């Protein structure tokens, strides 16, 4: 079948990526977000289908990206596709599309459709593709187990993500197991841990891990592959005051007393509980109204945000801005507060249809100048280069949320310098979250071979005076 469609321009790194995928039946494309991994994959599968080497591709992606994949296939290929809708009856329609060249299904539906997907993979030789493959980083998760159960029936296996180390090197194991059945990083997670994890001392043998992963993957960064405008980070200190400061101090002191009452080993055992309380501290530093409906003051960060938006919007009447917050109730509060800029919102309770409408409005409507979103719901797959400013009202310890979301504006098609603005409340857990994300990022970049060196402190996850950095007002 000849593909006569006039395709958009293909960049040099994309030609190399397409060739890499065609030449390897099991491969990982780990290009940094914003380099066009979906185009490279579609071009490779289209060429292989037209050559008669495979019959189709099965693309497993986050639920919110199914429509994105459909649009990308229409843009880059003339071949037919089928999208698995929401609900069992809607998914049956896609299974009847036996002549489709691309099948698109979301991660959450794989387990319930396991038998039908196995039958589809056996019907004709199909390449199985995991988009945003860090979604299977948790070995014991039901979705991970379902996808691993499918892999033997696939004619080819590909994984795509710009953040293979989503939070820590362990995130690589399930992804590579899907790809090569344990040849790279071991057939069991326990073996992986023995080889690479040094317990309380952090990580070991990371050079070996880098070598094993890079032997099956291709990764390019934007700095090496594109001539993009710069991305500037601006840390804006925020002073808390009044009731907000009192509420924060009270919760911080309670946490400090509790942690200090624990023995050294207990601190590690209670790690999840400590982390949960730290996130509550982050909520107080962001907006105490998230925890106490009786709170009436204007939060310190909202006051600073007022000034930032006034400056950005007045300075340039065409400027569009994204506000990121990890807490859904903040989104509605800010939608109402900044109504003059016709904001649209994205969070986990927004349907795929509503999400698509919001994205179109933000991209195409000059009056819609503000998007308020939760990184967990809008971090992946979106190109929002109409904006050049992204403001983080708050962040959690989730590295992939932070890395993926900021590059919605800094990617192919961006022509102007971008600003990533971080609101950090002084002498709060915000400062430790900032430190932890930067340390995680340095470790991730080393594990992914983005950098050639790493300090012993980062490799061993050393923290400066942990308790004071976590809780106390005199953080190191």
The answer to whether residue 4 sits within a structural domain is no
CATH number (domain holding residue 393): 3.40.50.300
The mean predicted confidence, pLDDT, of the chain is 91
The answer to whether residue 218 sits within a structural domain is yes
Residues 217, 236: one domain?
no
Residue 29 forms beta bridges with which residues?
A: 160, 218
Q: Is the dihedral of CA 320, 324, 329, 333 positive or negative?
A: negative
Average pLDDT over residues 63-86: 92
What pLDDT was estimated at residue 476? 35
The answer to whether residue 459 sits within a structural domain is yes
CATH number (domain holding residue 213): 3.40.50.10810
Q: Which residue has the tokens 């009786």?
A: 294
What pLDDT was estimated at residue 471? 53
Kind plus residue range of the DSSP H or E element containing 195:
helix 189-196
Residues 269, 374: one domain?
yes
Angle between helices 328-337 and 300-315 (to 10 degrees): 50
What pLDDT was estimated at residue 257? 84
Longest CA pairwise span in the chain (Å)? 71
Average pLDDT over residues 79-83: 95
Kind plus residue range of the DSSP H or E element containing 64:
none
Long-range contacts of 16-22 (CB under 8 A, 24+ apart): 16/218, 17/44, 17/218, 17/220, 18/43, 18/44, 18/47, 19/44, 20/218, 21/45, 21/158, 22/47, 22/48
Distance (Å, whole) CA 365 – CA 343: 11
Angle between helices 114-123 and 88-95 (to 10 degrees): 10
- Phi then psi for residue 66, to 5 deg, are -60, -45
Distance (Å, whole) CA 338 – CA 447: 41
> Would the pLDDT of 315 be above 70?
yes
Report residue 233 as tokens.
């980070």
What pLDDT was estimated at residue 89? 64
Residues 197, 239: one domain?
no
The answer to whether residue 2 sits within a structural domain is no
Contact predicate 420/458, CB 8 Å: no
Q: How many CB atoms lie within 10 A of CB 297?
A: 15
> Per residue in 173-186, pLDDT tens?
999 999 999 999 99
What pLDDT was estimated at residue 4? 45
Confidence of residue 466 (pLDDT cuts 50, 70, 90): very low
What pLDDT was estimated at residue 473? 42
Residue 233 forms beta bridges with which residues?
A: 420
What pLDDT was estimated at residue 6? 53
The answer to whether residue 20 sits within a structural domain is yes
Q: How many CB atoms lie within 10 A of CB 87?
A: 9
What pLDDT was estimated at residue 263? 72
> Per residue in 385-399, pLDDT tens?
999 999 999 999 999
What pLDDT was estimated at residue 411? 92
The answer to whether residue 1 sits within a structural domain is no
Kind plus residue range of the DSSP H or E element containing 55:
none
The CA distances from residue 48 to 79, 380, 385, 435, 446, in Å, are: 12, 27, 32, 45, 33
Distance (Å, whole) CA 430 – CA 433: 5
Residues 142, 235: one domain?
no
Residues 132, 194: one domain?
yes
Residues 235, 251: one domain?
yes
User: Residue 30: which of 287, 271, 216 has the closest Cα?
Assistant: 216
Average pLDDT over residues 315-327: 94
> Would the pLDDT of 87 be above 90?
no
Residues 336, 460: one domain?
yes
> Per residue in 401-427, pLDDT tens?
999 999 999 998 999 999 999 999 999
Distance (Å, whole) CA 284 – CA 261: 23
Both ends of the chain: CA-CA distance in Å?
64
Mark which of 162, 192, 224 sits at the end of a domain: 224
Q: Which residue has the tokens 């362990």?
A: 170
All residues at 6 or more sequence positions from 27 whose CB lies less than 8 Å from its CB, including other chains:
20, 21, 158, 159, 179, 216, 217, 218
What pLDDT was estimated at residue 3? 45
Residues 213, 278: one domain?
no
Average pLDDT over residues 35-53: 97
Task: Give the rounded distance of the alpha carbon of 80 from its chain centre.
Answer: 28
All residues at 6 or more sequence positions from 449 whose CB lies less than 8 Å from its CB, including other chains:
210, 213, 214, 219
Domain assignment of residue 60, given as a range:
12-224
330 vs 91, higher pLDDT: 330
Residues 240, 141: one domain?
no
Distance (Å, whole) CA 253 – CA 329: 25
The answer to whether residue 94 sits within a structural domain is yes
Pairing between strand 344-346 and 370-373? parallel
Q: What percent of the chain has pLDDT over 70?
A: 92
The answer to whether residue 7 sits within a structural domain is no
> Per residue in 5-34, pLDDT tens?
455 678 999 999 999 999 999 999 999 998
Distance (Å, whole) CA 94 – CA 103: 8
Of all residues in the chain, what percent are helix, strand and coil, respectively (each to 5)?
50, 15, 35
DSSP-derived letter for residue 160 is: E
Mark which of 207, 224, 241 sits at the end of a domain: 224
Residues 246, 335: one domain?
yes
Residues 257, 286: one domain?
yes
What pLDDT was estimated at residue 99? 86
Residues 31, 172: one domain?
yes
Q: Quick check: helix, strand or coil at residue 321?
A: strand
> Per residue in 222-237, pLDDT tens?
999 989 999 999 999 9
> Per residue in 191-210, pLDDT tens?
999 999 988 788 999 999 99
Average pLDDT over residues 463-468: 54
> Would the pLDDT of 269 be above 80?
no
Pairing between strand 126-131 and 56-61? parallel
Average pLDDT over residues 257-284: 80
Q: How many CB atoms lie within 10 A of CB 312?
A: 20
Distance (Å, whole) CA 94 – CA 279: 41
Mark which of 201, 224, 247 sits at the end of a domain: 224
> Per residue in 111-158, pLDDT tens?
999 999 999 999 999 999 999 999 999 999 999 999 999 999 999 999
> Would the pLDDT of 474 be above 60?
no
Distance (Å, whole) CA 467 – CA 476: 10
Contact predicate 358/346, CB 8 Å: yes
What pLDDT was estimated at residue 36? 93
What pLDDT was estimated at residue 374? 95
Q: Which residue has the tokens 């380099």?
A: 35
Number of domains in the chain: 2
- Phi then psi for residue 38, to 5 deg, are -65, -40
């Amino acid at each position: 079948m000849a593909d006569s469609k006039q395709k958009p321009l293909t960049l040099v790194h994309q030609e190399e990526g397409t060739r890499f995928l065609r030449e390897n039946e099991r491969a990982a494309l780990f290009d940094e977000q914003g380099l066009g991994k979906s185009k490279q994959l579609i071009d490779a599968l289209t060429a292989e289908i037209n050559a008669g080497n495979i019959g189709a591709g099965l693309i497993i992606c986050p639920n919110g990206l199914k429509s994105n994949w459909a649009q990308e296939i229409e843009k880059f290929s003339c071949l037919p596709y089928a999208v698995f809708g929401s609900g069992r009856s809607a998914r049956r329609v896609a299974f009847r599309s036996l002549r489709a060249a691309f099948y698109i299904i979301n991660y959450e539906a794989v387990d319930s459709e396991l038998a039908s997907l196995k039958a589809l993979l056996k019907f004709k030789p199909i390449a199985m593709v995991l988009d945003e493959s860090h979604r299977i980083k948790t070995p014991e998760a039901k979705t991970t187990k379902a996808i691993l159960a499918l892999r033997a029936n696939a004619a080819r296996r590909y994984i795509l993500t710009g953040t293979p180390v989503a939070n820590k090197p362990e995130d690589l194991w399930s992804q590579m197991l899907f790809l090569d059945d344990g040849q790279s990083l071991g057939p069991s997670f326990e073996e992986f841990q023995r080889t690479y994890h040094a317990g309380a001392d952090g990580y070991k043998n990371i050079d070996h891990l880098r070598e094993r992963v890079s032997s099956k993957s291709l990764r390019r960064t934007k700095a090496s592959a594109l001539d993009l405008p710069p991305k500037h980070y601006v840390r804006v200190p925020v002073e808390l005051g009044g009731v907000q400061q009192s509420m924060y101090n009270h919760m911080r002191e309670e946490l400090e007393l509790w942690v200090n009452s624990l023995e050294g080993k207990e601190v590690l055992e209670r790690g999840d509980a400590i982390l949960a309380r730290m996130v509550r501290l982050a909520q107080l530093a962001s907006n105490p109204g998230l925890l106490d409906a009786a709170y009436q003051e204007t939060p310190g960060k909202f006051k600073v945000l007022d000034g930032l938006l006034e400056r950005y919007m007045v300075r340039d009447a065409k400027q569009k801005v994204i506000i990121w917050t990890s807490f859904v109730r903040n989104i509605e509060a800010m939608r109402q507060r900044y109504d003059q800029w016709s904001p649209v919102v994205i969070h986990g309770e927004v349907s795929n249809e509503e999400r698509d409408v919001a994205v179109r409005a933000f991209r195409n409507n000059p009056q819609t100048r503000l998007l308020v979103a939760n990184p967990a719901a809008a971090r992946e797959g979106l190109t929002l280069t109409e904006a050049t400013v992204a403001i983080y009202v708050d962040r959690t310890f989730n590295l992939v949320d932070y890395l993926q979301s900021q590059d919605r504006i800094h990617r192919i098609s961006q022509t102007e310098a971008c600003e990533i603005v971080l609101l950090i409340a002084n002498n709060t857990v915000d400062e430790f979250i900032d430190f932890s994300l930067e340390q995680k990022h340095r470790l991730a970049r080393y594990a992914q071979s983005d950098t050639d060196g790493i300090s012993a402190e980062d490799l061993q996850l050393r923290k400066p005076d942990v308790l004071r950095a976590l809780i106390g007002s005199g953080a190191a």
